[in-house]
Structure 1
């Protein structure tokens, strides 16, 4: 097995939700999940100067990737697992992304 570098991207979509993707070195999607704001009775502001997003690179030696999310009272947590071990965790707070 060899070390591979992946990029986790979490961003708001134009369709009122959040996309989270794990891309490999060739920008091919290895894992993906989507959150619809409507499923959680959330709404973004009517206009934004910038679309919120987060990106992080992870270098690891794994055979499987799994991208999961959980919702609590104040936001979402996205967890990237590699061979069932947590590689990274990203928190999206409602307040930071102005979600009501």
Structure 2
């Protein structure tokens, strides 16, 4: 939760006035498991690995996940305003209980 919060507040790509944020919406996002699960899915679905399985786009994938989270908690940043729009592959939530070999 701390990293999600820090990422939301500290990324220079945000056009977000922290002083004018509705903290009730922000707090409610952390209490909604659906929002958190899909946020994690967006982050993981955007990660890219190199040949040695090293992550090459951590900050961009993190930002993309934060875009989804913010769109659901910040009324001034509706999901329709997110650019580029989310596609179904980004929002796909795999069954986390199933592990493929």
- Name the structure with the higher helix share: 2
1 or 2 for the larger relative contact order (CA 8 Å, sep ≥6)? 2
- Name the structure with the higher strand share: 1
Q: TM-score, normalised by structure 1?
A: 0.30
